[in-house]
Structure 1
Amino acid sequence: MEIGPRLKDLRLKNDLTLEELASRCELSKGFLSQVERDLTSPSVSTLSDILEALGVSFSTFFKEERPTQVIFGTDDFFVDEREDYTINWIVPNSQKNTMDPIIIEIKPKSESMEIEPFDGEEFGYVLEGEIHLSINETLHLIKANQTFYLRGNQSHTLVNKSNCIAKVLWVVNPPIF
């Protein structure tokens, strides 16, 4: 790990000059410059002083950042087969994100799990077949290539009354699946 460049990035993010940081740490400007260029290594106590002046803990500073995955394929999906439907989690660990997308395949003459009221929103796109969105015992027909959008403040289910599998891209915010 290159400590110097990371320290320099933190200093610049804090809008500090070398001179200002040196003054806060009671170090020379020349020494800090050498540290930032990895020409010298600070002692643990000196590094502690620098990090304190930058408002960063040791654990935060040394935490390795992993690259964020942005593209997912079928190898990344998690599939949960139930009696009446199959859920494909198409973004792994999406519960930590603000949206939770799934593809749900509802078998003929079946329905999805009931979604209890929650504080959020939902969007769905019917990829194949047709479904009925059941809200308060009212059925709303949604065909392939049509969408639905609703607030999560009412219980609802997706009902497949047809003889074919219905496939829906379903996205909720915040994650509840």
Structure 2
Amino acid sequence: MRPMPLDPADRHVNIGPRLRAARKAQQLTIDEVARVTGLTKGFLSRVERDVTSLSVSSLITLCDVLSIPVGSLFEEPDVQLVRAGTGARINLGGVETEERLLSPRSEGKVQVIRSVIESGGHGGDELYAVAADVDVLHVLRGHVEVRFSGEEWQLGAGDTLTFSGHEPHTWRVLSEAGAEVIWVLVPALWSA
């Protein structure tokens, strides 16, 4: 049996933007990278715009300077979509509240939750804390009051409150028509 010739996949990998992002994350200028790698500024600029390609040797040198694995430049991006209305229903203890997870369950760095809260809905009479370093509440519709041990905040549509999830708090809806809010927890509760 004769071997079949293989046709290359018709897929172009754009590594330039990833290299630029890695450089900027390291807070390095093109001048600094050029000086360390021995490559010219113009050449590095063209590489970052995917106008030209690097040799394998230059790619390894550049990745060493940027402290990134060469293979990471060729990985498929991790993109996950949760369509409207399809997020998993969860219950974080809110009364008169429908909560849906907007971030994938597999995401441990952040948890995004959309809560539709009926009039009179609340987070309980007692103050509580969650196992998140950062808790962000963004009000999409309605009015919500957030109470801490020493102060209260009243939020309307478009307002955002950021605080430590470890800080004891509770909340309640003030508007007759209920409220709709987005909670962002960092890290996700199940990863803490």
Report TM bin, short chain.
0.5 to 0.7
- Compared CA separation, residues 103 and 76, structure 1 to 2 (3 A): same
**TM score, norm. by length of structure 2:** 0.50
Q: Partner of 2:159 in structure 1?
A: 146
Number of aligned positions between the proteins = 112
Matching residue's letter, 1:69: V
Paired position in structure 2 for 1:68: 78
Q: Which has the larger radius of gyration?
A: 1
Structure 2 distance, partners of 1:120, 1:175, is 9
Give the counterpart letter for 1:169 in structure 2.
I
Name the CA distance, whole Å, in 1 between partners of 2:185 and 2:95: 22
CA RMSD of aligned residues (A): 2.7
Identity rate, percent:
18
Distance 1:110 1:93, change over 3 A: same
Report the structure, 1 or 2, having the larger helix content.
1
Q: Taking structure 1 as the reference length, what is the TM-score of the superposition?
A: 0.54
Amino acid in structure 2 at the alignment position of 1:100: Q
Amino acid in structure 2 at the alignment position of 1:116: A
Contact 1:85 1:107 in 2 (8 A): yes
Q: Which residue of 2 aligns with 1:13?
A: none
Aligned twin of 1:128: 141
| 1:79-94 paired onto structure 2 within 5 Å | 79-80=89-90, 83-94=95-106
Query: Partner of 1:105 in structure 2?
Result: 116
- 1:102-150 residue CA offsets vs partner (Å, 9 max, x unmatched): 0112211120356425350111210000100111163210000111111
Local SS of the residue matching 1:133: strand
2:95 touches 2:121 (CA, 8 Å); kept in 1?
Answer: no
Change (3 A) 1:75 1:118: closer
Point out where structure 1 has 5 or more consecutive residues left out of the alignment: 1-64
Unpaired runs of 5+ residues, structure 2, are: 1-74
Residue 156 (structure 1) shift? 1.2
CA distance in 1, matches of 2:184, 2:175: 23
Q: Tell me, what secondary structure is at the counterpart of 1:162?
A: coil
